């Protein structure tokens, strides 16, 4: 959890808050169908939970920056590298502009492709 001190008091930004920002930024990106759980065990435990941070893992680094891992499902027929680069840039921008934290890196893991409904 990031702590920022100011003359009035302290500001705490949780992993969950950053993960929600990243989740929303990814879903709004072109070519992203959804997010997938990062592992089988975590996926099974979260099946029964409605979690707006599924597929996002936030790590705080020693230099007060953060790293984000995202597990995406991308639309079939889109250029995977372009979608991944776009998502990484969008997520980094949204987190930095919303929280003031430095994002060291955004790692994109493509977990699958999904064919959109042609209708």
Convert the pLDDT of each residue in 58-95 to its tens digit: 999 988 899 999 999 999 999 999 999 999 999 999 99
Say what percent of the chain tops pLDDT 70. Answer: 80
User: Across-strand partners of 16?
Assistant: none
Residue 44: the pLDDT is 40
CA torsion sign for 17, 51, 66, 2 is: positive
The answer to whether 108 and 84 have CB atoms below 8 angstroms apart is: yes
Alpha helices by DSSP H, listed for the chain, are: 15-27, 40-45, 80-99
**pLDDT on residue 50:** 55
Given this model, what pLDDT does residue 18 score? 94
Residue 119 lies in a domain: no
**Domain-embedded: residue 109:** yes
**Which domain CATH number covers 83?**
3.30.70.1350
Q: Which domain holds residue 99?
A: 2-114
Position 48 confidence tier, pLDDT thresholds 50, 70, 90: very low
Q: For the chain, what is the domain count? A: 1
């Amino acid at each position: 959890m990031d702590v920022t001190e100011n003359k009035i008091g302290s500001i705490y930004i949780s992993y969950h808050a950053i993960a929600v920002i990243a989740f929303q930024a990814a879903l709004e990106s072109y070519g992203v169908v959804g997010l997938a759980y990062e592992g089988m065990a975590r996926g099974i435990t979260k099946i029964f939970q409605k979690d707006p941070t599924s597929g996002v893992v936030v790590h705080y680094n020693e230099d007060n920056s953060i790293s984000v891992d995202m597990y995406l499902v991308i639309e079939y027929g889109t250029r995977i590298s372009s979608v991944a680069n776009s998502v990484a840039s969008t997520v980094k921008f949204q987190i930095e502009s919303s929280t003031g934290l430095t994002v060291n890196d955004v790692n994109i893991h493509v977990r699958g492709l999904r064919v959109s409904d042609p209708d």
